[in-house]
Amino acid sequence: MRVHLFRHRSEHAPTSACMGVLGALARTRRATAAGAFIALAIAGSAPATAQGDFPNRPVRIVVPFPAGGPTDVNIRILGQKLSEMWGQSIVIENRPGANTGIGAQLVANAPADGYTLLAAMDTTLVMNPATGASMNYDPFKDFAAITLTAKNTSLLTVRASDGAKTIQDLIARGKASKTKLNYGAGITITRLAGATFAKAAGIDVVLVPYKGSSEVVQGLLTGSVDFIVDGIAPSLPLIKSGQFRPLAKLNDRPLPALPDLKPLAVAANLPQIGEMSSWIGLVAPAGTSPAVVQKIQQAVVKAYDDPTVSDRLEKAGITAVTTTPAEFDAFFREEAGRWTKIYKESGIKLD
């Protein structure tokens, strides 16, 4: 039937009226096709243009801790420089709680456009999955790694007025006391570090958990705990004023602010204690354009090239570090495997 109709039409020359209609239809189709092509071209170029102009509006960085801690200090110093470079506001939003889970979930569910970033810590990407913590996000699927931004040096610190004079003194007090020593810590790695130290030293301790460094410092000031394990930044002013006494650092990296302070493994004569300091990095929601991720990473590298930025961080006890996105992704996945093994073998339970 289709052949018959086709042959029937071919036997008759079209009338002038018919030609007019056909011409109009052809012009309409060409106009429609041209319009569609232009629309597709505009739609296809919009993301590229947006990425090329990034950022063209304020960028929000979610810090999953209260203000004043190492992560907050790092991101505020870095954010100030990025704002100067980009000519856009950097909005720092503190969202503490649920072992960084509240902030992490917020960013995981944000649009993947580079305008909402997370200041992720080892707690967020490594310690939560390693310790089996309840999470409303997947650290391995929900984020695009951008760069490490810092490695922190954590300290074991006491009150200067009535605290131990040395680590050996603290261990002796713990063994002689009829009650358990209380220690304060905020993030998972410092909580685990305190428990690991106590187990290696053979003393009984009770963890007093806090949401962030400002609460940890306050706990030691008020006498709620006997010692704390925390990043250097919040405690350094109190160390310099003579209110706090640092007994050891939790890694062997040089610490210009406290050049004579020994690593915990050395000071306590417990070589089985390894490095247990924290780190900070930037991640974006999964699906963020690699071009945008790369632009943010390159901006962080450039920001750290400014000696005033790295100097401010160094004075706060924060070592500025950068990586490529691929390096950061590989790093935190490897760390997750390492700490999962350490946690399981330690037998320590973090309630």
Sequence ranges of the chain with CATH classification 3.40.190.150: 59-153+277-346
Q: Which two tokens stand for residue 186?
A: 């905020």
Range 197-202 average pLDDT: 93
Longest CA pairwise span in the chain (Å): 114
* Distances 199 to 140, 184, 190, 195 between C-alpha atoms, Å: 31, 16, 14, 6
CATH number listed for the domain at residues 59-153+277-346:
3.40.190.150
Report pLDDT for 31: 45
Mean pLDDT of the chain: 86
Distance CA 341, CA 347 (A): 11
CB-based contact 206:228 (threshold 8 Å): no
Q: Which two tokens stand for residue 284?
A: 């974006």
CATH superfamily entry for domain 154-267 = Periplasmic binding protein-like II (3.40.190.10)
Sequence ranges of the chain with CATH classification 3.40.190.10: 154-267
Range 212-230 average pLDDT: 95
Helices (H) and strands (E) in the chain, counts: 14, 11
Report pLDDT for 344: 86
Distance CA 222, CA 179 (A): 19
* Distances 238 to 99, 220, 222, 234 between C-alpha atoms, Å: 26, 11, 13, 8
Task: State percent of the chain over pLDDT 70.
Answer: 85
Report pLDDT for 39: 40
Residues 6+ apart with CB under 8 A from 65: 71, 72, 94, 96, 100, 121, 186, 187, 211, 212, 213
Distance CA 159, CA 246 (A): 9
The tens digit of pLDDT for each residue in 284-327 reads: 999 999 999 999 999 999 999 999 998 899 888 788 999 999 99
* Distances 43 to 30, 47, 49, 253, 287 between C-alpha atoms, Å: 20, 8, 10, 51, 18
Residue 50 pLDDT greater than 80, yes or no = no
